[in-house]
Amino acid sequence: MGKKSITLLNVGDIILGPDPESYFSEVKSALLEADFVVGQLEVTHTARDAKAVELDRLPENLSPLASNGFDLVTMAGNHLMDAGSQGVEDTMDWLKQHGISYVGAGMNLEEARRPVILEQDGTRIGYLNYNCVGPKSTWAAKDKPGNAYLEVITHYELEHETPGGPPTIYSWATQPTLKLMEEDIRQLRSQCDVLVVAFHKGIGHTPAKIAQYEQQVSYAAIDAGADLVVAHHAHILRGIEFYKGKAIYHGLCNFVTWVPLLAPSDDKDPDSWAMKRIEFFGFAPDPEYPTYPFHPEAIYTIIAKAEIEGGKIVRNSFLPCLIDKSGKPIILKRDEQGQQVFDYMEAITQKARMNAKYAWSGDEIIVTG
């Protein structure tokens, strides 16, 4: 195992459109300084699907992944099959051509479950990735492209005598799919020094709240041998906790997420997305963020950082970031804006009754259990 300190960065959801390089202008130097950079590629890119072309989700728009030092993208997610099998195939071909690994998706289930190992100076970092949300049509099978996945069951129980009233919600991953994940982790454990599991999970656009299954699958991953758990999908930050001394970043929010198609709308049709977004999630996007129509609190985001020495994670931290009105992530310093992200993370961690504690160290925020 290597003795040199290795820096591993994990970022949240990435959706790229036209002029993609410009969106990384404020984070590029930090990404290139890291030894490894990993992000969640939220959608596929292809010129063979009319909708993908209409949305500017073309393979050439993936160029910032190469120019900003990404070594690996996680791909398991609810939008993986938006452009069909050709979207998956063309995206993977582009990644291969540019020397970027991918995990969590494939042209069949065997490929989707296959881990990736990043190696430097004798230290090996293994990654696995699973989708916990979205339609079953995204699940990979023996002869079908799609995600590595965990099947999650949701049960609604009326806990009081008001029919139609708000229920208590229970959720859990099914044992067969959980066992497959545990099997993957145990097989990878002997092949790497640091093992990371990434989940696409969580309740979208909802501050602080953690569903029951999220801790179940995270704890199961660590029990099976994971050293670090990171997650994405909710498009808003989640708190951090430690389990058996291992850090769980329950939600990294967005990174570069270009989605003008979801921009604020004056449409008052009750069946429109604009109105359903208000009904489902209780917010209307800020019109001053035309390409970033997310919850107002989603302007806060982070870059998760792990320092690895002697084949072990010796420090967990994050770089506080703010999404500006043009949709760019900006890395903050220990100033008034940086403190806003610190305070927000502390508040949502406490609200979710999790145990992480935060402290400034220079311009980054150290995370301890």
User: What domains does the chain contain, in order, with CATH numbers?
Assistant: 6-258+295-368 (3.60.21.10)
**Residue 17 and residue 57 in contact, taking contact as beta carbons nearer than 8 Å:** yes
Which pTM does this prediction carry?
A: 0.95
Quick check: helix, strand or coil at residue 340?
helix
H/E stretch holding 121: none
300-330 residues labelled b (16+ CB within 10 A) or e (exposed)? bbbbbbbebeebebebbbbbbbbbeeebbbe
Q: Write the DSSP symbol of residue 207.
A: S
Instruction: Please state, in angstroms and as integers, the Cα–Cα distance from residue 109 to each residue in 42, 106, 130, 171, following that order.
Output: 19, 7, 11, 24
pLDDT in tens, 104-138: 999 999 999 999 999 999 999 999 999 999 899 99
| Interacting residues of 161 by C-beta distance below 8 A, sequence separation 6+ | none
Q: What is the CA radius of gyration of the chain?
A: 20
Q: Write the DSSP symbol of residue 38.
A: E
* Mean pLDDT score across all residues of the chain: 94
pLDDT in tens, 188-241: 999 999 999 999 999 999 999 999 999 999 999 999 999 999 999 999 999 999
Q: Please state, in angstroms and rounded to a whole number, the distance separating the CA atoms of residues 156 and 209.
A: 16
